[in-house]
Each structure stands twice: as structure tokens, then as C-alpha cells.
Amino acid sequence: MDLDLEAIKTRLEQLRSEHRDLDGLIARTTEESPFNQLEIQRLKKRKLVLKDLITKLESQLVPDIIA
């Protein structure tokens, strides 16, 4: 059980890091002129996928509370 939690935490940190890296990459790419709109859309879509994965993993770390 603890091993699973550690694996989730490690994966979360990896995903958060990639998400931050995409922020920087998107910012740098949009500063260039002209920039490739299709590439920006692809990066933003990947960022959303990462955010969904992060949210899913974070919910696994929160214990279920029966009301």
C-alpha cells in the first residue's frame, strides 16, 4: 500500500514537472514571430491531458470518506 502511494506521488511529480515545462515552452513559442498555431494547440492539448492525469492521481491520494 505504501509502495503504491509512493509510486503515485513520484508519478505526480513527474507529471507536474512536464506540465510546468509545457507552460514555458508555450510561452517561448508564442513569443516567436510568426509562430505555428497548430503546434501551440498541440502543446495546449497535451497540457490539458496532463492536468487531467494529475487530477486523477491526486484523487487517488485522498481517502474515501463515507458520509
pLDDT truncated to tens, each residue of the chain (67 aa)? 567 889 999 999 999 999 999 999 999 999 888 889 999 999 999 999 999 999 999 998 887 777 6
Write out the residue range of the structural domain in which residue 51 sits: 2-61
Any domain includes 66: no
The answer to whether 23 touches 40, Cβ cutoff 8 Å, is no
- Return the pLDDT at 26: 94
Biggest CA–CA distance in the chain, Å, is: 55
- Return the pLDDT at 10: 96
Give the CA angle between residues 28, 16, 20 to the nearest 5°: 10
- Return the pLDDT at 57: 94
Domains of the chain: total: 1
Any domain includes 27: yes
Alpha helices (runs of H) in 1-67, residue ranges in sequence order: 2-31, 37-61
Q: What's the pTM value of the predicted model, to 2 decimals?
A: 0.82
Phi, psi (rounded to 5 degrees) for 45: -65, -45
- The radius of gyration computed from the CA coordinates of the chain, to the nearest angstrom, equals 16
- Return the pLDDT at 23: 95
Any domain includes 67: no
Any domain includes 49: yes
